[in-house]
Amino acid sequence: MIPDQVRDRPAPIIVTALFGRQDQAWFNALRRAHYPPERNVIDAHLTLFHHLPPSATDELKHRLTRETRGVRAPKAKVTGLMHLGRGVAYRIEAPELEAIRGGLCAAFSTLLTPQDATRWRPHVTIQNKVTPVPAKFVLTQLSKDFVPRETEIAGLATWLYRGGPWEPLSRHMFA
């Protein structure tokens, strides 16, 4: 439960891509298997933006609706694993999604944090906040059987970040 004083405070917005049901289940199962349970408070996700100000809410929703309504879902592929030092992620290749993000970057350029203004490396983190040794072990194990695979991007979503699990703000589904 979020205390009222935290709930009433303006919260930064996170923007993610939404996976299709089967892909979401696959990523979530990997996350449950490898993420420290006490830190695994949200589903697996593909972050487009980590921190947009609440003042951008209306314009962001408008732009995300325009990018998704009646638009075919962008093609995406899981292309490999990434070592994060203290975790592991699956690298995602999605040129059409990258173009959508690029347009949003241009529209919100003056509002972007340094993290969001740098080059985007699309990925889904399935392990984080561990020491380097277990991270390297998981990377090695998952690399043995890795085969690139298509993944479905079903939509885009916005969330409010209040320090714990994310609070849903809006969903914008592709056709």
- pLDDT exceeds 60 at position 2: no
Q: Where are the domains of the chain?
A: 13-163
| Inter-CA distances, 149 with 26, 77, 90, 124, 130, Å | 12, 6, 11, 14, 26
Q: Is-contact 17 153, C-beta < 8 A?
A: yes
Average pLDDT over residues 95-113: 98
- pLDDT exceeds 60 at position 162: yes
Q: What is the pLDDT of residues 26-83, one digit of tens each?
A: 999 999 999 999 999 999 999 999 999 999 999 999 999 999 999 999 999 999 999 9
Average pLDDT over residues 128-132: 96
DSSP annotation of 175 reads -
**Identity at 124, one-letter amino acid code:** V
Cα–Cα dist 48/40, whole Å: 19
Q: What is the mean pLDDT of the chain?
A: 95
| pLDDT tier at 10, thresholds 50, 70, 90 | confident
Residue with tokens 């892909």: 23
Cα–Cα dist 172/69, whole Å: 7
Name the percent of the chain lying above pLDDT 90. 93
Cα–Cα dist 3/173, whole Å: 31
Q: What is the pLDDT of residues 137-158, one digit of tens each?
A: 999 999 999 999 999 999 999 9
Cα end-to-end span (Å), the chain: 35
CATH number corresponding to 13-163 = 3.90.1140.10
pLDDT at 150: 98
Q: CA nearest 112: which of 152, 53, 164, 72?
A: 53
Name the percent of the chain lying above pLDDT 70. 95
Average pLDDT over residues 163-171: 94
The distance between the two most distant Cα atoms of the chain, rounded to a whole number of Å, is 48
